[in-house]
Amino acid sequence: MKQSQLFTKTRKEAPSDETSKNAQLLIKAGFINKELAGVYSYLPLGLRVIQKIKNIVNDEMNKLGSSEILMSTIQGKEIWEITNRWDDKQVDVWFKSQLKSGNEIGFGWSHEEPITNMMKGHINSYNDLPRFVHQFQNKLRNEVRAKSGIMRCREFIMKDMYSYCATEKEHMDFYNKTTEAYLNVYRKVGLGDITFVTSASGGVFTDKFSHEFQTICDAGEDIIYVSNDNKVALNEEIFNDETVAKMGYKKEDFEAKKAAEVGNIFTFGTKKCEELGLFFHDKGGVKQPVYLGSYGIGVTRLVGVLAEVFSDDRGLVWPKEVSPFHVHLVRLGVNEKTVEFADKLYLDLQKAGVEVLYDDRDLRPGEKFADSDLIGIPVRFVVSDKTVEQNMVEVKHRTKADAELLRVEDAISALK
């Protein structure tokens, strides 16, 4: 993409009411736009990061055998009344509205009820199980606090997956496979070393336990306890003598850390399917309830966590796998030869399958470099009158202080 065609402008200052580092950086670099507190739009660069994360997540979900769907945001209240989750006293994040007819509707903060209800038309016998579905969907939640930038929003993208299984064993096997798939996701986006499977209580609606995926991060809203051997992590709410003893540890073996919940997996057992009337006929023709699991990843929260973790005083520092582009090609000077050289390099890089942001604007070098650092693409290629004279390109990594002069072929092959 040519930067001259990118409509977004970088800015020196974030809005004064924006206190979180992730949103400040992402706004300054032109990745997002703030609409309201806790409500953000995604601009070309931000959307590319989201696409990268989605692709990584989608691959892992497909490998688990899940099919992608897209449920509606508007939901009827009746199914939620059946499970006692319509009442604002039970679920305090509902956004609700009314149809012209006066009928109440809700905006999806989660989808267990509508998906399970829909599945009644597709699951009847043991032959129809197991079934796994997932979606990337804008969830709406009327959050009380929205001070963590895009890490806690009133509208945000979640990947939610749901599993329908015939037996407890099938259900738990899938739950455990999903845990591994989630760890793959966090590793691939660059957060593997600091993301922990964290045991937590199941909350009021689910079975006895749940697992959170918590990334160590100062801007996180949670406290987790990580064992000194890095093998066990516990959510604050279940960190007590009894639980740690069960796991063969003492409380002193743990350290408290601030963390952001980037994913959460729950088992509902057979309770929700029983409530909503999702049953199957087993081999003997006997009617049995279905096991439900629910698995969320905060896609846009992940973007925020990445911005928090991978940034410095000059701006964002994207890991390659989630960077909006692989290479930032920066042209300095407007000499005909230089422009020609840079234009050709832009094409050659694309031919080699490299995603390039090409700064073809006629601005001062200082401005271009400041923008480039702020946007944070991992590799920068600089083409100037001087480098063209030598038939070279200057290559600089965002995380390194020094640049090196390379021949174009060497610079391109070094990317692989």
Kind and range of the H or E run holding 162: strand 155-165
CA distance 33 to 41: 5
Q: Tell me which of Mg ion, ligand ATP, none is bound by residue 296, counting a contact when its beta carbon lies within the kind-specific cut-off of 5 to 8 angstroms.
A: ligand ATP
Residue 353 in tokens: 């399958």
Applying CB under 5 A, which part among 98-106, 217-225, 263-271, 355-363 lies near Mg ion? 263-271
Q: How far is the CB of 4 from Mg ion (least distance, A)?
A: 43
**Which residue lies nearer to ligand ATP by CB, 69 or 405?**
69
Does 323 participate in binding ligand ATP (rule CB under 6 A)? no
In 18-157, which residue ranges form alpha helices assigned H by DSSP?
A: 21-28, 44-63, 78-82, 112-119
Q: Which is nearer to ligand ATP, 233 or 327 (CB)?
A: 233
Residue nearest to ligand ATP (CB): 298
Question: Which residue, 323, 313, 322, 292, is CA-closest to 373?
Answer: 313
114 contributes a contact to ligand ATP by CB under 6 A? no
Whether the Cβ atoms of residue 10 and residue 375 lie closer than 8 Å to each other: yes
Q: Considering beta carbons, is residue 22 or 264 the nearer one to Mg ion?
A: 264
Question: What is the amino acid identity at position 153?
Answer: C
Q: At closest approach, how far in Å is the CB of 141 from ligand ATP?
A: 5
Residue 399: both structure tokens together: 């995380």
**Of the listed pieces 26-34, 173-181, 284-292, 294-302, which binds ligand ATP according to CB under 6 A?**
294-302
Answer with the entry of ligand ATP, Mg ion, none that 46 interacts with (C-beta below 5 to 8 A by kind): none
102: its two tokens? 């006066």
Stretch 121-180 residues interacting with ligand ATP (CB under 6 A):
141, 143, 152-153, 156, 158
- Residue 214 within binding range of Mg ion, rule CB under 5 A: no
d(C-alpha 83, C-alpha 187), whole Å? 36
What is the C-alpha separation between 411 and 393, in angstroms, rounded? 7
Show the binding pattern over residues 264-283: x = contacts Mg ion (CB under 5 A), - = does not.
x-------------------
Query: Residue 158 binds what, of ligand ATP, Mg ion, none (CB under 5 to 8 Å, by partner type)?
Result: ligand ATP
**Binding to ligand ATP in span 83-112, by CB under 6 A:** 110
Please name the residues in contact with 155: beta carbons below 8 A apart, sequence gap of 6 or more: 38, 39, 138, 139, 140, 141
Answer with the entry of ligand ATP, Mg ion, none that 112 interacts with (C-beta below 5 to 8 A by kind): none
Is 296 among the residues that bind ligand ATP (CB under 6 A)? yes
CA distances to 162, 179, 266, 296 from 129, rounded to whole Å, are 13, 20, 19, 21
Q: How far is the CB of 378 from ligand ATP (least distance, A)?
A: 25
Indicate the pairing of strand 74-76 with strand 209-216: unpaired
Q: How far apart are CA 237 and CA 357, in angstroms?
A: 45
Contact residues for 245 (Cβ-Cβ < 8 A; gap 6+): none
Site for ligand ATP in 229-268 (CB under 6 A): 261-264
* 291 is a contact residue toward ligand ATP (CB under 6 A): no
The helix/strand/coil state of 97 is: strand
Judged by CB under 5 A, the stretch of 111-119, 164-172, 261-269, 377-385 that binds Mg ion is 261-269
One-letter-per-residue 3-state SS of 75-93: EECHHHHHCCCCCCCCCCC
Residues that bind Mg ion (CB under 5 A): 264
Instruction: Point out which residues bind ligand ATP (CB under 6 A).
Output: 110, 141, 143, 152-153, 156, 158, 261-264, 296, 298, 300-301
